[in-house]
Amino acid sequence: MTALLISLVTFALVFGGALLGMYFRNVLPEDHLGEDVRDVIKLSTGLIGTMAALVLGLLIASAKNSYDTKSTQIKQITANIILLDLDLERYGPDTQDLRIALRKAITPLINQIWNEGNRVKFSPFTATVEAQEFVKKLQQLQPGNDQRRTLQTQVLSAVANLSQARLSLFTQSRDAIPTPFLVILILWLAIIFTSFGLFVRPNRIAIVTFFVGGLSVASAIFLILEMGQPFTGLMQISSEAPRHALAPLGP
């Protein structure tokens, strides 16, 4: 289910729960909603509300942290690509083919990272053909002096950092909120709004208030799910920076 669909379901359950509460407020006998009953309901929903607020806050913080971490890793990949190309340029004209191979490997690499966020099932990691070709050419470098050996070490270090960031993104590509966790949270929210409706007689102000409250809760769920999938949806991380990090080489 997409983030938007889950958010719509959340809104329907929360707002529908509030309307259901107002309906029961009208049909239940007065002795069923006496002061003692009201106190019990308020205490119970207060406890549920506190737990829901804590969980919702933790989920938002966790999703934001995950989003920022992956965004930082994309920036690291972009920086390592640029550094790698600069070191190869300083190495000399012998690395012209390597620099061309590096540029050919960028687009498949970025496509692979963004596609991993869309996959339904987990699949083993596989390096792209272009990346394997680049590594193969890199291994063929034979530095003839100390300066080139130093640059080769820097190139290998940049490749290692790039690979580490890439594999870190791969291992996190299927990170998501567990379904039972999300279902329980939405159930808590629906119960809370249903209890609110029990103490209000149906009127326009109450209905509009419940509508806005349900919309706010659904928006929070939407943000959590969207930030948990940073390579898809409306809040996806832009791929423009890594795709265009290197200028085309002249003829």
**pLDDT score, position 210:** 92
Question: Is the pLDDT reported for residue 251 higher than 60?
Answer: no
Query: Percentage of residues in the chain with pLDDT exceeding 90?
Result: 20
The answer for residues whose C-beta is within 8 angstroms of residue 240's C-beta and 6 or more apart is none
**pLDDT score, position 245:** 85
- Average pLDDT score over residue span 106-112: 90
Question: Is the pLDDT reported for residue 143 higher than 70?
Answer: yes
Q: Flag the least confident range among 66-80, 87-101, 120-134, 232-246.
A: 120-134
Question: Is the pLDDT reported for residue 122 higher than 70?
Answer: no
**pLDDT score, position 117:** 65
Higher pLDDT, 251 or 35: 35
Q: How confident is the model at residue 118 (pLDDT cuts 50, 70, 90)?
A: low
CA distance 6 to 19: 20
Reported for 121-130, long-range contacts at CB under 8 A and 24+ positions apart, including other chains, are: 122/174, 125/167, 125/170, 130/101, 130/104, 130/105
pLDDT tens-place string over residues 26-64: 776 666 666 777 788 888 888 998 999 998 888 888 888
CA distance 178 to 183: 9
Question: Is the pLDDT reported for residue 250 higher than 70?
Answer: no
Q: Flag the least confident range among 142-146, 173-177, 180-184.
A: 173-177
Higher pLDDT, 147 or 212: 212
Whole-number mean pLDDT of the chain?
85
Higher pLDDT, 118 or 87: 87
CA distance 175 to 154: 33
- Average pLDDT score over residue span 111-127: 76
Query: Percentage of residues in the chain with pLDDT exceeding 70?
Result: 92
**pLDDT score, position 37:** 74
pTM above 0.85, yes or no: no
Q: How confident is the model at residue 120 (pLDDT cuts 50, 70, 90)?
A: low
CA distance 216 to 226: 15
Q: In this structure, are residues 185 and 56 in contact, taking their beta carbons and an 8 Å threshold?
A: yes
- Average pLDDT score over residue span 73-90: 90
**pLDDT score, position 222:** 92
**pLDDT score, position 33:** 66
